């Protein structure tokens, strides 16, 4: 099993390019199932989750071609199976988003109940109830969601009792081919949902209200092919800005989208990081500045993202002052705290709240990643710790960060991947 070895103490300086957004790429790949015509996608990140989703599409008979410019051409006209098998779905919870497009386009879907990060219960009941409202008949048996429609799905009004990005995406993809008008209320407003809607519009869908809590869809009979570029990854952007703040460095992040990061940038400025925005580039400068602890409360967009919570925990661990971190999106998402305590972090967890008192120094230690964003926090901790930090189970970080050790080395970090060592 691969490990990362991080030697702390280097100040990050330089510039890197931000990759395409994983959380946008996965539903966008699923959306290619909605047309029999080729769809060409650019700026897909080279990540394990993206590889898994492409393999899932291939398993169902979809034609996937990687072009010379690294764009990917996908054509679902050759689809010969509506089954998403357990051996692929178990590794990636986001793969449940093939349920809506398969059902809408092909009238049937058999999708294994999903797996993925162990950050608490993320039930699929919202997905199921929404699709049932559109006229689907769904049974959950033998570990599979088995869905069928009698002809085209029917437009409906769907009100989510809680905000869910995945459910919003699944219902949105199903509604674009339904007969009539669908209204999705209490919809997720995340930029990745907007990116999916923009792709669907490029394919011929009629959608309004994306980016608000009410999305209206006028169903069409068929969607066509198109070319589309996936949005930049706002969580990768935020993670590297935290790295600059923690190490007292100055970095430039190219090809990102500052407009998707308002809550994160505001908190980073509160922590002392100087932020400069130049078009699609962000410069984070901590040179000669003091890192200060900041309180955060996670909540659905446009509030502070849960996917940046772990990174801010480790930043607060070496900042001046005491901070309160409240996690309102997922239960069981403080598993990284025990590992950070092994490195000298002063933190106490009580339910969905973590109180962190800043310390002058973290110490290198053997640590273990428990989920994707937790693994990022451990890498960040290693960047400022004395000695070496050896991180195990790094397959988690490969699911969401493209070439993380190469990018960090480009910024001056001392980080090495040990391949196949146990």
Other CB atoms within 10 A of residue 227 CB: 12
Q: Contact 418/5 with Cβ under 8 angstroms?
A: yes
Distance CA 356, CA 298 (A): 16
CA atoms within 13 A on the CB side of 154: 7
110: β partners: 83, 146
d(Cα 275, Cα 286) in Å, to the nearest integer?
Answer: 9
Query: Do 416 and 5 touch, CB atoms closer than 8 A?
Result: yes
Query: 3-state DSSP call for residue 410?
Result: helix
Judge whether 146 and 139 are in contact, CB under 8 Å: yes
For tokens 């480009």, the residue is 410
Contact in structure between 34 and 176 (CB atoms under 8 Å): yes
Candidate list 117, 226, 313, 354, residue with the active-site label = 117
Question: What distance in Å separates the CA atoms of residue 222 and residue 201, rounded to the nearest whole number?
Answer: 12
Known catalytic residue at 117:
yes
Residues labelled catalytic: 117
């Amino acid at each position: 099993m691969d490990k990362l070895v991080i030697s702390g103490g280097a100040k990050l300086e330089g510039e890197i390019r931000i990759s395409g957004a994983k959380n946008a790429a996965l539903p966008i790949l699923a959306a290619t199932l909605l047309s029999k015509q080729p769809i060409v996608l650019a700026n897909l990140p080279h990540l394990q989750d993206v590889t898994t989703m492409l393999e899932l599409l291939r398993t169902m008979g979809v034609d996937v071609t990687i072009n010379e410019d690294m764009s990917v051409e996908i054509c679902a006209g050759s689809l010969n199976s509506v089954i998403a098998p357990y051996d692929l779905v178990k590794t990636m919870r986001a793969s449940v988003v093939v349920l809506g497009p398969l059902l809408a386009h092909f009238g049937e879907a058999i999708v294994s109940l999903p797996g993925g990060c162990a950050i608490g219960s993320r039930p699929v009941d919202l997905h199921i109830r929404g699709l049932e409202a559109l006229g689907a008949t769904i049974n959950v048996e033998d570990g599979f969601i088995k869905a069928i429609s009698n002809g085209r799905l029917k437009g409906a009004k769907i009100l989510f009792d809680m905000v869910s990005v995945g459910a919003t995406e699944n219902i949105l993809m199903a509604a674009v081919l339904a007969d009539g008008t669908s209204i999705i209320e209490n919809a997720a407003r995340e930029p990745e949902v907007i990116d999916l809607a923009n792709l669907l519009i490029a394919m011929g869908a009629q959608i309004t209200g994306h980016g608000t809590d009410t999305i209206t869809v006028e169903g069409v009979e068929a969607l066509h092919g198109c070319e589309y570029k996936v949005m930049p990854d706002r969580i990768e952007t935020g993670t590297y800005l935290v790295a600059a703040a923690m190490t007292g460095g100055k970095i430039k992040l190219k090809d990102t989208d500052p407009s998707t990061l308002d809550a994160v940038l505001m908190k980073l400025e509160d922590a002392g990081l100087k932020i400069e925005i130049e078009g699609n580039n962000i410069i984070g400068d901590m040179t000669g500045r003091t890192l200060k602890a900041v309180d955060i409360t996670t909540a659905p967009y446009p509030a502070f993202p849960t996917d940046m919570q772990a990174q801010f925990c480790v930043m607060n661990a070496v900042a001046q002052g005491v901070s309160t971190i409240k996690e309102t999106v997922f239960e069981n998402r403080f598993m990284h705290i025990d590992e950070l305590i092994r490195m000298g972090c002063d933190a106490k967890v009580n339910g969905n709240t973590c109180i962190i008192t800043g310390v002058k120094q973290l110490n290198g230690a053997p640590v273990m990643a428990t989920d994707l964003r937790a693994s990022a926090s451990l890498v960040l901790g290693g960047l400022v710790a004395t000695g070496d930090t050896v991180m195990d189970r790094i397959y988690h970080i490969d699911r969401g960060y493209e070439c993380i050790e190469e990018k960090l080395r480009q910024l001056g970090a001392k980080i090495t991947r040990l391949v196949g060592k146990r």
